Chain A
Amino acid sequence: MSLDQFLGRVNELESEATAAIAAVADSQQLETVRVRFLGAKNGVLKEVEKLFGTVQPSDKRVAGKRLNEVKQTLLQSFESAKESLLSGPARRTGPAPDPTLPGTPMRLGHLHPVTQTIEHLKEIMGRMGFTTAEGPEVEDPWHNFVALNIPEDHPARDPLDNFYLATAGATAGAEGTRLLRSQTSTVQIRVMESTTPPVRIISLGRVYRPDAPDATHFPMFHQMEGLLIDTEVTMANLKTVLRVFANNYLGGDVEIRFRPSFFPFTEPSVEVDFLWDGNWIEFGGAGMVDPAVLTAVGYDPEQYSGFAFGLGVERLCMRRHEITDIRDLFSGDVRFLRQF
């Protein structure tokens, strides 16, 4: 056999075997291919090796070199095919996958945005040493009014401005003996009644006022109030704490200001504004605890002073999440809730 004929046969073997190995999908097919090309008895390689004997002795060096090359290549291809069948996934046989299809949705619930806001507030105030306190939502007039220096003739006690509970003896429109609290300051009274100073708490929870519901009003909402009572507490401390709070909650260096206001339970009383995106935003009310309140809970106002502040949680929550209608918060509508 001529050298050219032999080399042609060798090349044929190489291309056929390479194609066959590449097309293999599982180890059974690979075995079939192995037997066909590399089989010890009737493999194609064996046949080609037999033909080598018919090559002219002068051509044997070139022919032998080429035969050996192809043999090594095929053995290697076979080994690596065997390996990839063992380790890698089976080769795709069907249509191409589409990795751009959407991921399978994860069924995870959502925390209410008001809860998220409350947790955020608790976390910031906690770092300033304020412990969380809670109390009942149904209160007596002592805790909701009297101890908070809200006397009987004060408009805040009006039956139309409060949810008094119906009792057997009560007449409609009269002030009752129990009501849904209109502020969480009731908790402060309860804590002070049972604690000796220093006191450093935030009280949190639902409060109730008969407002007609609209985009910014709801007859039920959440308040957070802070209270600090100690021997040397000043309005400068109050301003500092609120400033730190604002910097924390809003991020960055936030300017705050006090505007005089009136609350029965603080004196002096102020409205607190934050400068947010170039606008003064009302944050809430604050002030130094009124001596009448300190006296009501048995503290000596000559010995102790303190500050208190309060804010509406929903307002902060709505601003943060760009919620435009407070009623959505209490709708239970999953289309709303799952956005948070």
Chain B
Amino acid sequence: MLVSWKWLSRYVDLPMPLAELEQRLALSGLNHESTSSVGDDFVIDLEVTSNRGDCLGHIGVAREVAVLYDLPLRTPIVDLASGRDDISLLTSVSNEFPEACSRYTARLIQGVKVGPSPQWLSASLQSVGINSINNVVDATNYVMLECGQPLHAFDFDALDGRRIVVRRAREGETIEAIDHRSYTLDPAMCVIADASHAVAVAGVMGGAASEVTEQTANLLIEAAVFAPLSVRRTARKLKLFSPSSFRFERRVDLQRVDWASRRVCELILNSGGGEVVAGVIDTAPQSPQAAPVVLRFSQLKRLLGIEIDRDEVLRILSALGCQQVGEAAGRVELQTPSWRHDLTREVDLIEEVARIHGYDKIPEDHPIPVVASAKRPFDVAVEKIRGVLVAAGISEAMTPSIVTDKLDAMVSPWTQTPALATEVPMLEGARKLRRSLLPSLLQSRASNWSASSTHADLFEIAHVYLPGKNADDLPTEQYTLGIVSGLDFYTLKGVLDELAARLGLPSPLAIESTPIDGLDDDWSVQIRGADQTIGYLSVLHPRLTKELKLPGEVTLAELSLGALLQAAKLVPTQRSVSTFPSIQRDLNLIVDESVQWASLEHAVRAAVGTELAAVTYKETYRNPGKDGPDRKRILLAVELQKSDATLTGTEADAMVASILANCEQAVGAKLLS
């Protein structure tokens, strides 16, 4: 809202310096954006919150000044000469859409001479950035900027049937607005029409056909109240925003409508002559009054924490336009002003008192009582996870939750149900709520490579959105850890095993081969918890590696933090360490190519009890000349130890024999002799 200093001073004295006024207004609710000087005037740009439609006119701002400085407010008195004729004989208004238009008033002016505005009027408008058009249009703009009530003047003779119909737009109906662009309307929109056509989009903009021109002699003056939601939806749909739609969206003063109508007629007559036809057409002359509000003085202290003098409370509220209609012990009953739609409850009045009295009076030395608060186990776990990943040289990224169709289709290990989508795209056409973090991280890795040839090892911790069973269900939001790296598969696997160990999960993690679209089947595994999937680990499919123009193999992993946390034991407890020496034996076993380490290790472990302190994989190598084709040698080490005595060589030999027997039986392993 642009406020002219000179214009403002018509309604309230301004003895204070400009800067002080700006500051006082900012600290009482009208935030000061900037001030510029226009000629011999200052124009102050004030930010008006959406609940304060009353401050979208100079009188409203003047009232704030008057309250803050305890000065009298001067509202212009309208003295409109009554003309001849009777308006009801000359025109009519039919309101067929009262949901969108709660009040419509019309006045007629005959024999006006349209021409330039008087200097004071055009100067006032120009100071706040509005071009002067002619004395009629300028008068409607002036009164709108004076009191906040939008007004419209129609060329009465251009109205078919010389009457007004407030109705829904017809399907496909078009209108050329005064911006000389054509708009297609729909029945959700409210229009002002004459007998045949829409002549204005209600509360938004007038039509070109009934525009006031130099030739116009007779005027119909509209002062009406349109429903905020209807105006907003129409303006949004048409992408047509005006000072008038801005004000209707923030609600106008029902009681001010007739004043504004008379006021604009008076200004037009003063500059353009002519005569006002006697009477007014008003579809809702009896506007309802809001119920009075009770204010208990004790509530001020209860919410604000300070006592405010009762006389000061009443002075503030009365200066703001509240009228005392009742009183009892410790309370008053107040009729709130019609221009303050935001004052309907006791707490609303408390806010008014507080902001005028000044928030600087509220002290800063009222501490809250001490209570204990603890870190959530989730936060403890996530901190550990971040610590391990950072130590592994992997950096944390944050990427948008909404992805393009292309990214969405890339990898989705958790669900095959199609992703949810937003109505409007978030970025570059992205509408899909991601089901996996991996595509976003792959894209980041790819753009790091193309931008700076950097191998980006990245992780992210964020929600993925797994659609529910029914289309209208809220999705399951799974907190997920995604990792994309250039580490080799086993290194990344080692990172995950360390992660598991730090969280108190069994380590190494249990895995199971699982094919996953977009990933390399040879490497794809799911990580198993006791009774659920904790996550996935794999290598990107070479097709995608090529498509993303990534150099070399990409390893990736995605883990559900919920599942991890369920299996986690965040507080480690001590296990006693055996003080007796251990015996280590290397075993070089020849097995078929098809035998995997997991089954071999299982066979080793199954053969010995608690004395088996460790089984360590060393290496795999092949010697087809000696072992034959499709055979490999796996070198492993076992560590044997007792917790209560020194293990003897004989005992160790027996255990190794048992291991070898079990390995041969389970996986056909033979000791290299």
Contacts and interface: CB of A to CB of B under 8 A. Distances in A.
Most chain B CB within 10 A, of A109, A180, A256, is at A109
Contact of A219 (B31, B348, B394, B426): B426
B368 A228 contact: yes
B390 A337 contact: no
A148 B172 CA distance: 37
A290 interface: yes
B433 interface: yes
B423 A163 contact: yes
Interface in A133-175: 136-140, 152-153, 155, 158-160, 163-168, 170, 172-173
Contacts of B401: 137, 180, 206, 208, 220
Contacts of A330: 398-400
Interface string A286-310: 0010110000000000000100000
B376 A165 contact: no
B80 interface: no
Contacts of B396: 109-112, 115, 337
B391 A109 contact: yes
B366 A237 contact: yes
A236 interface: yes
Contacts of A36: none
Interface string A319-334: 0000000000111111
A126 B375 contact: yes
B424 A240 contact: no
A267 interface: yes
A262 B49 contact: yes
Interface residues of A, number: 84
Contacts of B52: 262
B463 interface: yes
Nearest to B363: A236
B60 to A, nearest CB: 15
A163 B424 contact: yes
Nearest to B449: A334
A214 to B, nearest CB: 12
A197 interface: no
A132 B513 CA distance: 38
A177 B303 contact: no
B424 A160 contact: yes
A130 interface: yes
Interface string B262-304: 0000000000000000000000000000000000000001111
Interface string B356-370: 000110111111101
Interface residues of B, number: 93
B351 A268 contact: yes
Contacts of A82: none
Interface string A88-117: 000000000000000000011111101100
A161 B370 CA distance: 40
B228 A132 contact: no
A166 B232 contact: no
Nearest to A198: B371
B420 interface: yes
A290 B345 CA distance: 11
Nearest to A314: B398
Contacts of A109: 389-396, 457, 459
B595 interface: no
A128 B367 CA distance: 10
B447 interface: yes
A332 B399 contact: yes
B322 interface: no
A159 B233 CA distance: 10
Contacts of B472: 167, 177-178
A122 interface: yes
B30 to A, nearest CB: 9
Given A129-B371, A200-B373, A332-B399, A138 B306 contact: no
Contacts of A220: 400-402, 426
A189 to B, nearest CB: 14
Interface string A215-242: 0000110000000100011111101110
Given A112-B397, A114-B398, 19 more contacts: A111-B395, A132-B375, A132-B379, A163-B402, A163-B426, A165-B433, A172-B423, A206-B462, A219-B400, A228-B368, A235-B354, A237-B366, A262-B52, A267-B348, A268-B347, A330-B399, A333-B447, A333-B452, A337-B396
11 contacts: A126-B373, A129-B371, A152-B229, A153-B232, A173-B423, A234-B301, A237-B367, A261-B29, A331-B444, A331-B447, A332-B443
Nearest 7 A/B pairs, CB to CB: A332-B444, A236-B305, A234-B305, A107-B393, A260-B29, A258-B359, A268-B351
